[in-house]
Structure 1
C-alpha cells in the first residue's frame, strides 16, 4: 500500500518515526512531507527519514495561514502523483483536506482538546480520528479511542532505552541532581491570551537553592544572565536528559508528559488543562498539574519538594502506567493498514460490475 505522512512539528517526527520504519519493513511505500517548524527537519535528518520540505516556518497567526495554504497546495500536487491509500497526520488539517480531494483515506491522531481551530478545520474532513481514552471531547462515529498517550509511540520501554552518555554531553555528572525547565514560546494558536513564568530568574534561583543543577530549554530569547543555563544537545537526545532528570518543570504539556511516561516526576504549569495531563496526575501521580492563578508559585514549590522524595516512588508508578497502556507505535501501524484495506475493498469492483458471480 502507499502511505503519506505529514509532519508539521518536531513532536510529529517522534510520533511517526517507528511506524514509518515498520511500515517500510512490511513492504509498504511511505512518503513523508514536512513543513519547517523548530527542529522538525533536524530530527528527520537525525533519524535518517527520507522527506521533502514543502513550506517554511511561520512567525505569526497571519503568516501561519499563508504557510498552511502553501503546504496544502504542494501536498495536493505531490499526493496526486502518489495516489496514496492513506494520509496520516497529527492534527491533520492538510492531511484530511488533501485526502478528501483525492479519494484517499485520512487518519488523524490528536490529543489537544483546546486546539479548536485545528479541530474545526480538520475533523469534519477526516475519516478516522484516533484519540487517547482520556481525551475529553466526543467526536462521533469516526473517533477511535485507545489506552495510551502520543508519547508512548516513541518512549514506551519497548521503543526507547535512555542513554546516560547524554549527561556528559551537557556537563552533568551522573550523581548530580538536576532539573530540566521547559519555557514555552506561547505562539501557538491555542496559546493566545496565555503566558508562563514572568520571572525565570527566580525559578532558576529557587531550584538551585534546593540543590539542583538547572538546564533551561526555552523557546525564544532569554536574558543574558540566563543564557548560560540554556543547554545545547542534538534534538534527538532530549529524551535521554528527561529520563535522567530529578524533576522536570514545564510550561509545555508534551515535555511534561514525556517526562512522566519515562518515570521522571513532572510539574506542568500552564493555564490550559488537557485530558492526558489530568490523567497522568490523578491516575498515576507522575505529573502534577497546576493551572490556577497561583500556578507559578505552587508549581515551583512542588518541583522543589520532589527533591526529597525517593526515586522508587516514580519507578513503581511508571511500571503501573506501562502495564495499563499500549505501545502506541504498533497501534498506529495497525490503524494505517486497516484503513488502507478498507479503501481497497471500497474500490474493488462488485460481481455485478464485473459480470462474474
Structure 2
C-alpha cells in the first residue's frame, strides 16, 4: 500500500509521527509532503521523518491564495506519477483537492469547525472525515460534508501526540532554564497568522498576564514565530523557549499552562496539568470537551485569568478519570479500508 500524508502545521507532525512509523514498520510505502511554516521542518528532522518540502505559508489573503494555488500545482506533479492508494491529512487545504482530482481516496482529520475557508474548500471533497463527537455534525454538513463520510470518536486529536510519549523529568535542567520561583507557568501566544483569527502578530493577549504573574512564578513562553518572541524579550523571570523542544515534558513538568491557542491547552488537559485557555476567538468544541470534564478553565477576561492562575498554582485540581476512543486505531483501520475499497 502506498500512502500519501501531507503536513501543513507544526502540531500535525506530532499527530502523524506514530502513524508514519507504524506504516513504515508494516512495510507500507509512505510519501510525506510538508510545507515550510513555523517549526514543521525542524520537528520533522527531530522525529527523523523523511519528507518532501513543498510550498510555504501565506500571510495576507492574497498570499494565502497564491501560495496554496502554487502548492497544488507543484504537488500534482509529485503525486501524479506515484500511484498512491490512499491519502491522509489534517486540515490540509491542498491534499483533498489533489486527491479528488486524481481519483485518490482521501481520509481527512478535522477538529476545527470554525475554519470557514478551509472547511468549505475541503470537506465536500473528502471520502471520509474523522472528527470528535463533540463537534456538531450539522455544522460540518453546512460546509458541504456528506454525513455518510463522517466518522466520530470520543476525544480530541491531541490524544495522538502521546501514543509513544516518554516523560523527561529533567527537561528544565536540559534546557538550562534559570528558575527563581518554586512554581512555573508555561504560556503559548495566539495563532496570529491563522486565517480564522484576525489579530496583530506583534501584540499578544498574554502581555498583561505575564506582567502580573512574573512576580509569583517562572514564566516560560513558547512563541510561534519571531515577532511573538520579540514581544516578551528582556522581561524579568520570563524565559523564551526556542523550538523544537520537548513540549509534552515541559507541559507535564509545569505547574500551570496558560494558552491563547488551542493545541497546547488540550495537550495540558490530557496530561492533567492545570490549564487556562484565553484564546481570543470563539470557543472550539474540542476545548469545550475538556472544559465540560473539568480539565480546562476558559476566560478572555485578563483579571479573571490572573485570579484563576493564582488559585491553580496553589491548589491544582485532582486527577480526573477520562475515557476516550483509540484514535490511532480508528485512523489505521480506515486507511486500510479506504485503500482496499476506495470509499
Q: 1:178 matched to which residue of 2?
A: 184
* Shift in Å, 1:173: 6.2
Call closer, same or farther: CA 1:60–1:228 in 2, change over 3 Å. farther
Q: Is residue 10 of structure 1 aligned with residue 4 of structure 2? A: no
* Structure 2 contact 86–106 (Cα < 8 Å) conserved: yes
Aligned to 1:190, what secondary structure does the other structure show? coil
Alpha-carbon distance between aligned partners in 1 of 2:42 and 2:304, rounded to the nearest angstrom: 36
Q: Deviations over 1:86-108 (max 9, x none)?
A: 11101132111111111110110
Q: Pick the aligned partner of 1:149 from 148, 156, 159.
A: 156
Q: 1:277 matched to which residue of 2?
A: 287
When the two structures are superposed, what TM-score results if normalisation uses the length of structure 1? 0.86
Call closer, same or farther: CA 1:222–1:290 in 2, change over 3 Å. same
Q: 1:353 matched to which residue of 2?
A: none
Q: Deviations over 1:11-57 (max 9, x none)?
A: 11111000011011112111000101100010001111010001123
Q: Is residue 205 of structure 1 aligned with residue 211 of structure 2? A: yes
Q: Pick the aligned partner of 1:165 from 163, 167, 170.
A: 170
Alpha-carbon distance between aligned partners in 2 of 1:146 and 1:133, rounded to the nearest angstrom: 5
* Structure 1 contact 152–326 (Cα < 8 Å) conserved: no
Q: Which runs of 5+ in 1 are unaligned?
A: 347-357
Alpha-carbon distance between aligned partners in 1 of 2:236 and 2:87, rounded to the nearest angstrom: 41
Alpha-carbon distance between aligned partners in 1 of 2:268 and 2:218, rounded to the nearest angstrom: 17
Alpha-carbon distance between aligned partners in 1 of 2:158 and 2:260, rounded to the nearest angstrom: 17
Q: 1:260 matched to which residue of 2?
A: 269
* Shift in Å, 1:280: 0.1
333-342 or 244-253, which deviates more: 333-342
RMSD across aligned C-alpha pairs, in angstroms?
Answer: 2.3
* Shift in Å, 1:68: 0.9
Q: What is the total number of aligned residue pairs between the two structures?
A: 330
* Shift in Å, 1:85: 1.1
Call closer, same or farther: CA 1:265–1:197 in 2, change over 3 Å. farther
Q: Is residue 28 of structure 1 aligned with residue 28 of structure 2? A: yes
* Structure 1 contact 16–329 (Cα < 8 Å) conserved: no
Alpha-carbon distance between aligned partners in 2 of 1:142 and 1:212, rounded to the nearest angstrom: 47
Q: Pick the aligned partner of 2:312 from 290, 306, 311.
A: 306
* Mapping 1:277-356, distance limit 5 Å: 277-282=287-292, 284-291=293-300, 295-310=301-316, 313-314=317-318, 316-317=319-320, 320-321=321-322, 324-343=323-342
Q: 1:99 matched to which residue of 2?
A: 99
* Shift in Å, 1:212: 1.4
Q: Is residue 46 of structure 1 aligned with residue 49 of structure 2? A: no
229-238 or 39-48, which deviates more: 229-238
Q: 2:144 matched to which residue of 1?
A: none
Q: Which runs of 5+ in 2 are unaligned?
A: 142-146
* Structure 1 contact 92–109 (Cα < 8 Å) conserved: no
Q: Deviations over 1:206-253 (max 9, x none)?
A: 2233x3111112332315433972423442412210111101011001
* Structure 2 contact 93–122 (Cα < 8 Å) conserved: yes
When the two structures are superposed, what TM-score results if normalisation uses the length of structure 2? 0.89
